[in-house]
C-alpha cells in the first residue's frame, strides 16, 4: 500500500492553505496549562491526559474526531485552540520512493521543511526542524543561507511528527525514529527542543524510546554538556567536518567559538555521562577535507579523546547546492572510509537519498530570510 501511495505522489502534492490563525495550538500547552483551562471550563483534570494522548498520537484530524470526549468539550476546545501548530502546504516524494518532504506553514506565515525517511518497511524516521532558518552559516548548507528567521516552539517541533503520523496511519504505520537534523541548530533552541524530546519519550504520549532519537549539533559545547546531564540516553550526532581548526573554521563559522579540540572533549564527556556512542557527521568536500592525510588526522583526533569504540563517523557525500563545492569521486570517498576503518574507527559512507527533491543533508531551505523569494 505504501508503494502505491508514494507512486501517486511523485508529482508535488499541494494542500489548501488557510488564513493565519492566532489561536494557540493544543500541542503548545503544557499538561498544567491544559488542566487549568479545563478547570476554568468546569471539566475534570483527567481529560488533559485524554486530550494529550490524542494530540501526540496524531492520527486524528481535529477535535471533532475525539469521540471519547463530550461534544460540548470538543466544541470548546475547537473555539480556543488549533489542532496543530503547523499546516502542510506542499508535499513531494522522491523518485527513490523512500523519501518524502513537506513544506509546513507556521501560524505567523513562516515556513519550515520536514522529511520522512522510511527504510524498507523496518522503520519510519522523521527529520525535524527546530528553527525556521539557521544562524550557523555552514558553507555547505542551504539552510544556513537563510539566516535565522525564528526559533520554533515545542509544539511546532512535535507537530512535524504528528503530521507524518497522520500520513502513515492509513497504511497502519507509525513514526519509529526521530532525528533532529532538519533546519536550525537544536541547542540554540534548547528548551523547546528538550520539551519536544520529553513529549516524544513520554509513554503516555508518543512513547518512542530515547535510543531512537538523535540530536545533531554543529558543536555547541554548552548544549552537549547540558544534554549529557538530562538523564536521557539520546543519540548525539556532532557535525565535525574537519579534524583541524583552519579547515573547520573555513566551512563552519562556529569553530571560531568552539574549536575541534573543544568539541571532541565535549563529545567525550557526553559518552562518559550517558554511555552512548557519539556519531561524528562528516560531509566530504572535494579538495577541502577529503584527502587521505586528512583521514589520518581525523582518526588521530578522535582517538586522542577516548576509545575508538565510543565513536562512529558518518561520512556524507556533499549534496549539490550551497557553497558551490564538489562531491569527491566514489573511489576517493571509499578510500577515506577505509583509512578510518584501518585505524579501528567505525565509519560508514552514507547512501544519499532525496536529492531530487532537495531533501538530502544540507539541502533544506525555504524562500525566506536572507534568501527571500516568493513561496
User: Which ranges in the chain are annotated with CATH 3.20.20.70?
Assistant: 89-369
What average pLDDT does the segment 198-214 reach? Answer: 93
* Per-residue pLDDT at 2: 33
- State how beta strands 123-127 and 177-180 pair: parallel
pTM, full prediction: 0.88
Beta-bridge partner residues of 127: 115, 179
Fold of 89-369: TIM Barrel (3.20.20)
* Per-residue pLDDT at 95: 81
The answer, yes or no, to whether residue 349 has pLDDT greater than 70, is yes
The answer, yes or no, to whether residue 130 has pLDDT greater than 60, is yes
The answer, yes or no, to whether residue 364 has pLDDT greater than 80, is no
Burial of 11 (0-12, 13-18, 19+ CB in 10 A): exposed
The full length of the chain comes to 375
- Residue 337 CB contacts under 8 Å (≥ 6 apart), including other chains: 315, 347, 348, 349
* Per-residue pLDDT at 22: 76
User: What are the DSSP calls for 259-295, one per residue?
Assistant: -HHHHHHHHHHHHHHH--PEEEEEEE-TTTT-SHHHH
C-alpha cell at position 343: 585505524
29-80: CATH, from 2.60.120.330, 1.20.1250.20, 3.40.50.970, 1.10.150.530? 1.10.150.530
* Per-residue pLDDT at 9: 39
pLDDT digits over 249-262, tens only?
999 999 999 999 99
The answer, yes or no, to whether residue 322 has pLDDT greater than 80, is no
The answer, yes or no, to whether residue 204 has pLDDT greater than 60, is yes
String of b and e for 40-71 (b: at least 16 CB within 10 Å)?
A: eeebeeebbeebbbbbbbbebeebeebeebee
pLDDT digits over 149-193, tens only?
999 999 999 999 999 998 988 888 899 999 999 999 999 999 999
Cα maximum dimension of the chain: 69
The answer, yes or no, to whether residue 369 has pLDDT greater than 60, is no
What average pLDDT does the segment 90-97 reach? Answer: 83
| SS3 of residue 164 by DSSP | helix
Active site residues: 113, 361
User: Which ranges in the chain are annotated with CATH 1.10.150.530?
Assistant: 29-80
The answer, yes or no, to whether residue 329 has pLDDT greater than 90, is yes
pLDDT bucket at 354, cuts 50 / 70 / 90: low
The answer, yes or no, to whether residue 372 has pLDDT greater than 80, is no
* Per-residue pLDDT at 366: 72
Q: Among 5-9, 217-221, 232-236, 289-293, which is the least confidently predicted range?
A: 5-9
- Residue 372 CB contacts under 8 Å (≥ 6 apart), including other chains: none
The answer, yes or no, to whether residue 358 has pLDDT greater than 70, is no
* Per-residue pLDDT at 316: 94
* Per-residue pLDDT at 30: 87
The answer, yes or no, to whether residue 7 has pLDDT greater than 50, is no
What average pLDDT does the segment 30-43 reach? Answer: 94
The answer, yes or no, to whether residue 56 has pLDDT greater than 80, is no
pLDDT bucket at 97, cuts 50 / 70 / 90: confident
Amino acid at each position: 500500500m505504501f508503494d502505491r501511495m508514494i507512486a501517486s505522489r511523485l508529482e508535488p502534492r499541494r494542500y489548501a492553505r488557510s488564513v493565519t490563525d492566532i489561536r494557540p495550538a493544543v500541542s503548545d500547552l503544557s499538561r498544567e496549562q491544559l488542566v487549568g483551562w479545563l478547570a476554568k471550563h468546569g471539566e475534570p483534570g483527567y481529560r488533559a491526559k485524554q486530550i494529550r494522548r490524542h494530540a501526540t498520537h496524531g492520527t486524528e484530524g481535529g477535535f471533532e474526531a475525539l469521540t471519547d470526549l463530550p461534544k460540548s468539550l470538543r466544541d470548546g476546545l475547537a473555539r480556543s485552540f488549533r489542532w496543530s501548530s503547523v499546516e502542510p502546504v506542499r508535499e513531494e516524494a522522491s523518485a527513490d520512493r523512500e523519501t518524502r518532504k513537506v513544506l509546513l506553514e507556521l501560524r505567523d506565515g513562516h515556513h519550515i521543511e520536514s522529511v520522512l525517511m522510511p527504510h524498507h518497511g523496518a522503520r519510519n524516521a522523521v527529520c525535524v526542524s527546530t528553527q525556521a532558518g539557521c544562524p550557523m552559516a555552514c558553507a555547505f548548507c542551504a539552510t544556513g543561507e537563510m539566516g535565522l528567521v525564528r526559533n520554533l516552539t515545542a509544539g511546532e517541533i512535535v507537530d512535524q511528527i504528528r503530521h507524518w503520523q497522520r500520513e502513515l496511519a492509513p497504511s497502519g504505520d507509525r513514526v519509529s525514529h526521530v532525528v533532529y537534523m532538519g533546519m536550525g541548530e537544536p541547542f540554540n533552541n534548547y528548551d523547546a527542543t528538550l520539551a519536544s524530546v520529553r513529549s516524544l519519550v513520554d509513554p503516555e504520549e508518543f512513547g518512542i524510546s530515547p535510543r531512537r532519537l538523535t540530536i545533531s549539533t554543529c558543536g555547541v559545547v554548552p548544549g552537549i554538556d547540558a544534554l549529557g546531564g538530562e538523564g536521557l540516553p539520546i543519540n548525539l550526532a556532532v557535525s565535525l567536518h574537519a579534524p583541524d581548526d583552519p579547515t573547520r573554521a573555513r566551512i563552519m563559522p562556529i569553530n571560531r567559538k568552539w574549536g575541534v579540540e573543544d568539541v571532541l572533549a565535549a563529545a567525550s564527556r557526553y559518552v562518559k555521562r550517558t554511555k552512548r556512542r557519539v556519531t561524528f557527521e562528516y560531509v566530504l568536500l572535494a579538495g577541502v577535507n577529503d584527502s587521505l592525510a586528512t583521514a589520518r588526522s581525523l582518526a588521530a583526533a578522535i582517538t586522542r579523546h577516548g576509545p575508538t569504540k565510543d565513536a562512529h563517523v558518518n561520512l556524507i557525500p556533499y549534496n549539490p547546492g550551497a557553497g558551490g563545492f564538489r562531491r569527491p569521486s566514489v573511489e576517493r570517498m571509499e578510500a577515506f572510509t577505509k583509512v578510518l576503518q584501518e585505524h579501528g574507527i567505525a565509519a560508514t559512507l552514507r547512501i544519499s537519498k532525496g536529492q531530487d527533491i532537495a531533501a538530502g543533508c544540507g539541502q533544506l531551505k525555504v524562500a525566506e530570510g536572507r534568501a527571500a523569494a516568493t513561496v
